[in-house]
Structure 1
Amino acid sequence: MTARDVSHFLADDSDLPENERQLLGRARALIPRLAERAPVTTAERNVPPETIAEYHDAGILKILQPRRFGGLQGRFGLFSQIVEELTYGCASSAWVYAVLGEHQWIIASYPEQAQIDVWGDDPDAVAASSLAPRAAATPVPGGWRLSGHYSFSSGCDHAQWAILGVFLGEIGDPRTIAYLLVPLAETEILDDWQVLGLAGTGSKSLIVRDVFVPQHRCVMVSDLFAGTPPGALVHPDYPVVRAPRGFLVSYSLPPVAIALGRRALDIVCRDLATRVSRGVTKMAGSEVVQMTIGEAAAAIDAATLLLRHGRRATTEAVSSGRQITAAEALQARRDMVYAQHQIGWALERLCELSGARWVYDTDPLQEIRRDVMTILTHHAASRAAAYAPYGNMLLSRGRD
């Protein structure tokens, strides 16, 4: 795949500052290399080390890392746009970039000493995660001890640290959920990532056995979502750290699904433009085919518009330093969950239109469909978690 092959996918960057255009240009230069490695990435069930090295060399893993610790202290919108555009080369590689890159923001939210632990001797350090709380930490003098089985840790083979969700109190009490920071070397990586889609993300499980976590390597999830984590005092000049997590996080992983939808539409249109069905019917001349393509394209374009408009609006709001309301955070999540499911709907129509060809393992549409099906199982695409709080907010206004 060449830059020319994907140029029609790429968003306009003319309004970006020069430093951001340079970073975006470096990321775009990686797209053909990611595409070339994509078959190996899927076959090995892991992103190749050379891809991670190129992310480091391009500087794109430092976008959300604070300047004090060698990062660029950049805007979330640039990071999100890079996630989208890397997907045009390889979805699994873009997903791992999204995870490792976004976690620089979470690390920056911890108390100062935790950030020194991570970046003090290694400013290139990155963290994988398993954020759903899967165990209760046991309080001990100076911190906690933790044991548990933590699944879905994307990119863990390439990280130095792990961010693990825990209950600091009674299991099931959302008020006690925290993220503890643990060196990867103190965990065991269990290779259990044999899956339907996003096979190349290497999202293996982490086994933690009675690991001690000092008190300073803890951040409460409630503080992250309120925009009041300890790191906000460490980096008073970095507005991203003060942004409510729910306002920005919806623009981290969802761009992968939306870019995949655009890739799928391109593949099907190129194929059906010249295909003759059963040796008789020119499919491009069928009104049913034309209508289905048009409807799927509308859904994909609507999802893309929600992504790009929302990304721009949230980036501008955070950069302004103004207070972000709970309603804005709920709407951001609602929009991006809706956008991802629009992609899923459109992809079903496109696969049906494509006929039996997509069932072959060698057909690119099959991997895209498997990837999107897998993405739609993620919490970032959960309709219940997004729509119910938003609906409750609207209903509460009516009750007031």
Structure 2
Amino acid sequence: FGVAARQGCPFDCGLCEEHEQHTCIGLLEITSSCNLECPMCFAESGPGGKHLSFQQCQAAIDRLVEVEGQPEILQLSGGEPTIHPQFEAILDYACQQPIDIVMINTNGVRIAKDAAFLELLQKYRHRIEIYLQFDGLSEASYPALRGEPLLETKLQAVERLGAAAINTILVSTVQPHVNDDQMGAIVQFGQERSWVTGASLQPATYSGRYVLPEDLEQRITFPDIIQGIQRQTDQQWLETDFSPLPCAHPNGHTLAYAVRTNDGILPLARFIQLKNHLDLLSGRITFNRPRAKELIAEYLSRQPCGLGGCDQDWSLGESLDAATLTPSQLEVAAGFFQKAMTETLDPSDMFRITTTSFMDAYNFDVRQLMKSCVHFVLPSGHLIPFSAYNVLYRHGHVPLPPLQDSRLPLVRT
């Protein structure tokens, strides 16, 4: 832990010993500048902001690696990270580190318009994932959330990423009466594109530039999103397909995984009793081939027949109820187990939906904060939970406490 707990959560972030989770996603804001000026922006970014130096970015990345050993995800964010004048150097340095995935949080404008930049990203496609702001398939969503019509730009960015074979997540801020009718369409759009590995749906956060107290009674919640997805996808996805992320607070994240099929998807919860085995997902959010094999092997070992024996196919497991699945779905389920156990699963074989609820001053909950695994990584060496940083630390309402680790000097930003 970087900070000693003196005043108690949330006033000793760094992290302090009261925090109950490690860093699943380390978020590094490499710039406060942006090529958009979105009405919905927790960072209040816009043109003319400031860039971190390469050395500051390097210090933050080094700190994350020092703390985590092998971090799962480093997310380069902003502002709009792709407009940083040293973006290539920062990306290259990050990709050289023992980090599972370097994620780029972007509005996609440069990807849609700059062929040379897309070629740069393609060089790193085996190390990166694009976290693409994508608020729907209706143009009406964009002026309200992003300040200008952007649908064609978003669609162009998605298709260009596909042509470059770069894994992409569609990220939507969901606001009532703006785009809450678009959730099913976003999911369906992503499912139909093999390079889109998932959709992340995030209830609007009332902080930064978007503070509308009069809208608080209409705040979107997890049940609204999950029930909306079920309804808007004609029950391709069901409420029962979703589970809380086991290592975080249940109000923080939910997730659902599915296997892609020739004619759609088959959620894992239809043939794996995920809710009885959430401990297998605890502590990690990324799953490479060896990790997937390890998890499935452990899951199958818990079945009465173990990894072999009995009269049924070992790959199906005891929990697969043949009476509820069609023959083609049984084949998909068996294929999933076989690919997992032979380490041949590809990102394109799967699709995931995540919901993430970040807190603002109106729903701030210390219990949820202490279980947060999404942390800002500062050049000073501090790691601060996402919502604590936006509500308390970003504008200096709470000062950064001194680090216990004196090996990293404070770099003022």
If the TM-score is normalised by the length of the shorter chain, which range does it land in?
A: under 0.3
What is the TM-score normalised by the length of structure 1?
A: 0.25
Higher helix share: 1
Scaled by the length of structure 2, the TM-score of the pair is: 0.25
Higher relative contact order (CA 8 A, sep 6+): 2
